[in-house]
Amino acid sequence: MASSVGWVNAAVLPPIDMIGAALWKGLAGGTLLGDIAISLQRAGIAFAAAVAVAIPLGLFMGQVRAVETALDPILQLFRQTSALALYPVFILLLGLGETSKIFVIFWATLFPLLLNTTSGVK
């Protein structure tokens, strides 16, 4: 309502009728569903890869104290670095394609899965 009466710039906060029109245009044209499908595919691949790496490693770290003692400082160092902060590095190493985008999601989901699995086993 604020943008409809002119209190706020419509470019900053568009009115609801513009949002609805853009949503309808995206759904009717089919572009929005395609974009959503690609995003879900990226998220699914990255999450499956993170589960495949984090769960076995977390089970192993939770059961063998020496492995946890050896790997935990390295994991804590990497865990503190945001995936979005590392995105330029991923682009340099992996390119602009799907691989770097998937790896950002993988990096962001790996550490919560790993640390929770390790804690759960303990």
The 10s digit of each residue's pLDDT in 29-81 is 888 899 999 999 999 999 999 999 999 999 999 999 999 899 888 888 888 88
Domain total in the chain = 1
Distance in angstroms (rounded) separating the CA atoms of residues 94 and 76: 24
Q: How high is the pLDDT of residue 15?
A: 85
Q: Does 29 fall in a domain?
A: no
Q: Does 19 fall in a domain?
A: no
Q: How high is the pLDDT of residue 85?
A: 87
Q: Does 100 fall in a domain?
A: yes
Q: Does 24 fall in a domain?
A: no
Q: How high is the pLDDT of residue 58?
A: 94
Rounded to an integer, what is the distance from CA 44 to the centroid of its chain? 10
| pTM for the whole structure | 0.77
Q: Does 27 fall in a domain?
A: no
Residues found in the chain: 122
- Residue 76's domain spans which residues? 39-121
